[in-house]
Amino acid sequence: MEGIIENARVLFVAIVFVSLALDVKARRIPAAPPCDFPAIYNFGDSNSDTGGISAAFWPIPPPYGVSYFHRPAGRNSDGRLIIDFIAEHLGLPYLSSYLDSIGTNFRHGANFATGGSTIRMQNESIFENGISPFSLDIQTMQFDQFKARTSELYHQSELKLMQDNIFLDPSSARKLPRPKEFSRALYTFDIGQNDIAAGFRKLTMPQLRAAIPDIVDKFGAAITRLYQHGARAFWIHNTGPIGCLPAAMFYVSNPSKPGFFDKYGCIRSHNAIALEFNRQLKARVNTLRAELPHAALTYVDIYSAKYHLISNTKIYGFRDPFKICCGHHKNNIHVWCGQRVVINGSEIVGAACGSPAACISWDGVHYSQAANHWIANRIANGSFSDPPMPIAHACLKH
């Protein structure tokens, strides 16, 4: 009898132990407190530009912004971008563009991304092919300057505060980050698509393939440089399925070749380049983990998130993934979203469709707000990340 009780007790203790162990294992991630990022510093191209190109050159015209801001808001979409949803998710305000001199607030970060940016500096101008002069190396230099100058201003105003109890310029100091918060911020990246697009224009496929190691190398150098300036948490998007962009179909030379398109209608050879870039980027992020011992590097598979959406359009309530909501593209006449062209005496307007929320593509190159929202929801919980950590925990080293 006693033996049975004793056995039962052992069993009970064992069960409690096992379930405790399971509990600890299952809850390991949520048990760690979130990082509580005080700021986001973003680097990239039009996929995450929140006003850079509009400030530096000319404003993005209506109907961009129509679904959310109800006016053009410097973004290449009808509304918010993935970076906006990331900011919302982390409880931070939308990022002001570093280049914008009007109405900006950098208290919780800054955005260095500009539409048309590349990783490698290109010998082209914005007036030729829309290539931004602010390549990734320039963006990281702008960050260095931003950090040095805001820290200097902050210390000056503190000194002034001690001397005569008056802030140098209270309103501008309130809109600058605290120097000690730079090392606790999240550093986000979404760049590479324009290096590939420039390659399609200027290089043969073998040449472009051969250039990928150099492109990835420059990406790694930018991350290393930011690390040397105190950055620790990195959230790195790979590049999306460029061969699935509806605008990619306008200029294809031999689409009748068998196997040119995949089963969803994306250009196979273009996506193959994006996949190769991503493979090498992922490998580089791995080596960076060894080189930068205090960095937490999260590699985010944006390609798979976008491709999953494009290949399951109906399930998620979207229409044809190749439909372009804004712009006029018929009989070889291409009028881009927001543009007006007079052809044979009649004006053609690149207008928006009636239901942007049902479209994946807003203007043929950029995703709709609805698609951006879908993608941001998928990536925020870490289901497309390596390591598979929610973005709120992206400061934890693995």
Ligand X SMILES: *[C@@H]1O[C@H](CO)[C@@H](O)[C@H](O)[C@H]1NC(C)=O
Examine the residue annotation and report whether 46 is marked as an active-site residue of this protein.
Answer: yes
Q: CB of 394 within 8 A of CB of 186? A: yes
Task: Provide the 3-class DSSP secondary structure of residue 181.
Answer: helix
Judged by CB, which is closer to ligand X: 122, or 361? 122
Considering the rule CB under 6 A, would residue 122 count as an interface residue with ligand X? Answer: yes
Instruction: Identify the three-state secondary structure at position 129.
Output: helix
363 to 392: interface string for ligand X, x by CB under 6 A: --------------xx--x-x---------
Q: HSE-up of 371 (CA within 13 Å, CB side)?
A: 37
Q: Is 171 in the site for ligand X (CB under 6 A)?
A: no
In terms of residues, how long is the chain? 398
The single residue among 101, 123, 163, 171 that binds ligand X, judged by CB under 6 A, is: 123
Determine which helix (DSSP H) or strand (DSSP E) holds 199, and give its type and residue range.
helix 193-202
Interface size with ligand X, residues (CB under 6 A): 10
Stretch that binds ligand X, among 42-50, 116-124, 129-137, 298-306 (CB under 6 A): 116-124
* Cβ-contact 90, 186 below 8 angstroms: yes
Specify the residue for token string 């990340």: 385
Scanning 53-61, 73-81, 117-125, 274-282 for contacts with ligand X by CB under 6 A, the matching segment is 117-125
* Contact stretch for ligand X (CB under 6 A) within 20-28, 56-64, 115-123, 320-328: 115-123
Q: Which residues pair with 328 in a beta bridge?
A: 335
Q: Is 312 in the site for ligand X (CB under 6 A)?
A: no
Using the rule CB under 6 A, is 120 a contact of ligand X?
yes
Catalytic pick among 237, 366, 373, 393: 366
Identified catalytic residue from 46, 77, 96, 368 = 46
Q: How far is the CB of 258 from ligand X (least distance, A)?
A: 32
State the nearest-atom distance from the C-beta of 241 to ligand X, in Å: 19
Q: Give the separation between CA 171 and CA 309, rounded to whole angstroms.
A: 44
Of the two residues 32 and 343, which places its CB atom closer to ligand X in the complex? 343
- The dihedral through the CA atoms of 380, 382, 386, 389 has a sign that is positive
CB of 50 or CB of 385, closer to ligand X = 385
Site string for ligand X, 319-338 (x = CB under 6 A): --------------x-----
Would you say 137 or 262 has its CB closer to ligand X? 137
- Please identify which of the residues 132, 135, 363, 393 carries the catalytic annotation: 363
Contacts 24+ apart (CB under 8 A), 86-94: 86/40, 86/188, 86/235, 86/376, 86/380, 86/391, 87/40, 89/376, 89/380, 89/391, 89/392, 90/37, 90/40, 90/186, 90/391, 90/392, 92/37, 92/39, 92/40, 94/50
Taking the least distance from each CB to ligand X, the nearer of 209 and 229 is 209
Closest approach of ligand X to the CB of residue 118, in Å? 8
Q: Does 210 bind ligand X (CB under 6 A)?
A: no
Instruction: List residues bridging with 361 in a β-sheet.
Output: 324, 367
* Dist CA 50 CA 310 (whole Å): 24
- Amino acid (1-letter code) at residue 300: V
- Just list the catalytic residues: 46, 363, 366
Which residues contact ligand X (rule: CB under 6 A)?
120, 122-123, 333, 343-344, 377-378, 381, 383
